[in-house]
Amino acid sequence: MIGKIFRRYEEFIPDFQDFLEALRESPPFSIRVNTIKSSFEKLSDRFDEYGINYEPVEWYRDAMITEERVTHTLEYYLGDFYVQELASMVPPLILNPDENSFVLDMCAAPGSKTTQIAQMMNNRGHIVANDIEMERVKILRSNVKQMGCLNVTITKRDGRKIRGENIFDFVLLDAPCSGEGRHWKFNPLGWSESKIKSLSKLQSSLLENAIRLVKEGGVVVYSTCTYAPEENEAVLSRFLDRVKILGVKSPVRALPGITEWRGEFYGEEMKKAIRLFPHISGTGGFFIAKLQKA
C-alpha cells in the first residue's frame, strides 16, 4: 500500500524501483554525540569497553551508527548522546547559527534539533524551543534537561500565533507533516490527499509567522520529513515575494527541489532546496530549504 501511495511521486524520484526496495528497510540506528557533556572520542572509548560496534558518519563528526540499540547504556541516561535519525541531523547543520545567536525552534518537540542546535552554539546564545502540545512540551523539557542545554527557554504556543516581528536571527521550522519520509513508521491508513492539503495550509501559516518573526536578512530553515510537493515546494512558492531561497551545500548526497509537478509551476528557485531519499542519501526522506528574509 505504501508503494501505491508513493507512485504519485514516480516522475521526480529517480531509480524509482530502487526507492521502493529501500522502503523495505529501516534506516541504520544512529546517534548524535552530545558535545556539551561528552565527545566522540570519549563515547567511542566507552563503547569499545562495552564491546559495542560502531562507525563514524563521514559527513557529520558528531554522529555515529551502532550495530545495536544503545539505550541500555549508562551514557544514554547521562545524556552523553541522543538517538536521532541521520536525516533529522541535517536541518540544524544547514541552519548553522552563530554562538551568540537568538534562535527560535518553532515546532521543537521532542527536542532532537533543539539540543543539536544548542551544542552547535556551544551552549551559548539563546534558543526559544516551542511546541503546541503539553505532553510534547514535557518530553521536550526532559530532553533539554538531560542533554544539559542551558541556553534554551521552552514555551508552549501555537506557532502561528507567536507574537512579534523582526526578533530572531534564525528560525527553524521543522513543520508538522504527513511523515512519508519516515517510511519505517509511516501508517498508510491515515494518509489521504485531503489530509495533505490540510497540512499544507497549516505549514503555510506557520511559515508566514516564521518569516514575520525573523529579522530582516535573517535565516529561516523550512523542513519536513515528507515527499509531497504540496507540503514542500508548493508551500515555499507562496512566499517568494518575501524571502529568497539560499543555495545550500548538503552534507549528505541529495537531490534538488522540483520546479513543477502536476501542472503547477513552483519556480526555478526551488532547485536550491534539497530532497533526501533513502536509496540516494542513506537516510529517511526529508525536504530542506534555507530562506533569507528580504
Catalytic annotation, residues: 225
One-character DSSP codes across 141-175: HHHHHHTT--SEEEEE--GGG---SS-EEEEEEE-
Q: Closest Cα partner for 201 from 166, 241, 160, 158?
A: 160
Here the cell at position 5 is 501511495
Backbone angles phi, psi at 225, to 5 degrees: -110, 55
Long-range contacts of residues 131-139, Cβ cutoff 8 Å, at least 24 apart:
131/107, 131/156, 132/107, 132/156, 132/157, 132/158, 132/159, 133/109, 136/109, 136/110, 137/109, 139/109, 139/110, 139/111
| Cα radius of gyration (the chain) | 19
What is the DSSP code (8-state) at residue 62? Answer: E
Cell of residue 129, nine digits:
524551543
H-only helix segments in the chain: 2-6, 16-22, 40-50, 74-78, 90-95, 112-120, 134-146, 193-213, 233-237, 278-281
Between the CA of residue 174 and those of 14, 29, 130, 244, 287, what are the distances in Å? 25, 21, 11, 18, 10
Contact 103, 171 (CB under 8 A): yes
